[in-house]
Amino acid sequence: MTPAERIAELRRLIRHHEERYYVLNEPEIADAEFDALMRELERLEAEHPDLVTADSPTRRVGGRAAAAFPTVEHAEPMLSLDNAYSEEELRAFDDRVRRGLGADEPIAYVAELKIDGVSIALTYEDGLLARGATRGDGVRGEDVTANIRTIRAVPLRLGSGGHLEVRGEVYLPRRAFERINTQREDAGEPLFANPRNAAAGTLRNLDPALVATRGLRAFLYQLVGAGRPEAPVRLDTHAETLDLLRRWGLPVEPHWQRRVGVDELVAFCREWDEKRRTLDFDTDGVVVKVDRLAERRLLGATSKFPRWAIAFKFPAEQKTTLLRQIAVNVGRTGAVTPFAVLEPVVVAGSTISMATLHNADDIARKDIREGDWVIVEKAGDVIPRVVGPILSRRPPDSVPWRMPTTCPRCGAALHRPEGEVVWRCENTSCPAKLRRGLEHFASRSAMNIEGLGESLVAQLIDRGLVRDYADIYALRAETLANLTSTSVRGDGKTIERRFGEKNAAKVIAEIDRSRTNELWRLIYGLGIRHVGERAAQVLQDAFGSMDALEAASIDALQQTREIGPVLAESVRSWFDEPRNQQLVERLRAAGVRMEVPAETRAARRAEGPLTGKTYVLTGTLAAMTREEATAAIERLGGKVAGSVSRKTTAVIVGADAGSKAEKARELGVPMLDEAAFLALIKVQ
């Protein structure tokens, strides 16, 4: 046998055994035998480098750590799922589906266990894994291909050629989660709260070699475009899709079933509510999908959710414990929110000592008091919350809780804006606001300054080294080296260490690197109320520079697609504040990027027959989603705005149109029905 033949045989054997072990959970050989195959392949490839290929199993781990993850745009939006929290809501979903299809007979569904993991999209080109991306905001995600390649359950080569996109979930088995937390506890590092958080943190780690040691797994469940005429594979049902993915060697969660009618769905959900604890991974519900792909196309989607699918959430596990104290937390926007300090209790597999109480009105409505015995649960098996008090066990000297009138950190008076339920500290110098704001500014989703975490931020503020976001760019390594870093062991003991020169140098390097971030990260990091990641990206694309955004009128902001009046007012108010204007100037002086590079703007600028024209979408289109309609307009050079004004070229009106159609009539703005819109984008 020639070296090329032996290499090909080894790759085939290794992929076979990876599938048996990581996908089917049915290993055929011992770990030592598998390792021997891998070592032989590594040796042969080292001796014959001309025979190394991109899909070799030896290529899974290695390569240098990336400085940051680039952002990539999904071919189609990755929509969220609407939720059903009871059997009645699941039956209501079935009623909506049958009405939407005009069907009297029971509908065929596929029921799948809902994996509590991280959504991913895998792109294969000519059968080879070309890209792996996170869901992100649904429109854009992070390119984590190097880390996806370390997941042995994910094949580097598919049993099918052409261009394919497959979607699913990356998760961490419970045993791997326990092993990782044991290692972190021994090292004096903070523990992960749950397997999902551990999976998300691992997938976004910058070192693929470390990711490979964590033991991530994956389940795949969607072939993008399946059932469409242009799809690479012709399929009629979702059940056929899952079978095909499995035949291609992709890991598919094996407990899915095709069920006809809502009664069979309810029975499946009841069965797995009892059996889910026997699995080696976390699941918090059942995903229900219409089986026939043609029926899915008829049902379509809203701007957020597909109408043909829903996530049935298992009832939350509830426990009883003592509410020791009702405390309040000050957020980065000054919002002061109450939370419960509890006698620790184990709920759904983890120890809970704090829980959300939402707001003062909710506490008053439920009449929750300090010293009460209360019922707690994990909402969606994730977020601890207090359901309510047990009145029969209430102490006789109990008194109703009252919201503080002053900020617990700075002593300033709290205010409650008219029409809102949230109390706020309006003091712009409040150390609590600055701390939360700086944590947000440095977070991965904003300026992505690794190492500038809670402990370091708190010390910088307490010692007067940082008074606003711009101050971090004046920090020096020798200043940071004399600070301390803290971690919490599993037994609650805090370990404190000197920060040191090496760690200080890393943080300063991260701060310096952040100066060249994309503009949208800065916009998001500033903490402007109502401006999330997606809105920051839209504002960057629309205005191109901080100067242009700062000078934009409310009308100009509202003309921007996806920006409505509330967000426009919030942006304008933020830039009208003198302190914020000074902050922007100080950041500019520190060398932080304030505009989109000219070459990037030129690449993004679309020229076409609709250039200079602005459209507004309202209602539901039968032929395409709102995202697809927006993309069609933008490809032709047009813009899509979130509100109607006299400058609007036309309003595209779909079924169940809202107030935007009425506004168009008032202003005399032309309106196009779906047929006219399709003709517009087709003939251009």
461 has pLDDT over 70: yes
Residue 62's pLDDT is 41
Counting other chains too, the contacts that 44-49 makes at CB distance below 8 Å and 24 or more residues apart are 44/3, 44/6, 44/7, 44/10, 45/7, 47/3, 48/3, 48/4, 48/7
Query: Which two three-digit tokens encode residue 134?
Result: 């996170």
Average pLDDT over residues 626-641: 78
Is 519-604 in CATH node 1.10.150.20? yes
Mean pLDDT of 97-109: 94
So what's the pLDDT on residue 250? 92
pLDDT in tens, 237-284: 999 999 999 999 899 999 999 999 999 999 999 999 888 878 889 888
Catalytic positions = 114
Among 91-95, 460-464, 533-537, the minimum mean pLDDT is found in 533-537
Q: If you classify domain 318-395 with CATH, what class do you get?
A: mainly beta
Domain spanning 3-59 has what CATH number?
1.10.287.610
- The CATH classification number of 83-313 equals 3.30.470.30
**What is the structure's pLDDT at 66?**
41
On the 0-12 / 13-18 / 19+ scale of CB atoms within 10 A, 172 is buried
Report the chain's mean pLDDT, rounded to a whole number. Answer: 85
Return the pLDDT at 138: 79
Residue 264: which residues within 8 A CB-CB, separation 6 or more?
Answer: none
Give the model's pLDDT for residue 351. 84
**Are domains 431-514 and 519-604 of this chain identical in fold?**
yes
Given the candidates 3.40.50.720, 3.30.565.10, 1.10.150.20, 3.40.50.300, the CATH classification of the domain at 431-514 is 1.10.150.20
Which residues touch 14 (CB under 8 Å, ≥6 apart)?
34, 37, 38, 41, 57
pLDDT of residue 284: 85
Domain boundaries, the chain: 3-59, 83-313, 318-395, 431-514, 519-604, 614-683
Task: Enumerate the β-bridge partners of residue 443.
Answer: none
Tens of pLDDT, residue by residue over 582-608, are 999 999 999 999 998 876 665 455 567
What is the per-residue pLDDT for 65?
39
DSSP 562: T
Does the domain spanning 614-683 belong to CATH 3.30.460.20?
Answer: no
Q: CB count, 10 Å around CB of 259?
A: 21
Q: How confident is the model at residue 382 (pLDDT cuts 50, 70, 90)?
A: low
Low-confidence winner among 155-159, 319-323, 579-583, 589-593 (lowest mean pLDDT): 155-159
pLDDT tens per residue, range 173-223: 988 888 887 777 666 666 676 788 888 888 888 778 888 888 999 999 999
Asked if residue 433 has pLDDT above 60, the reply is yes
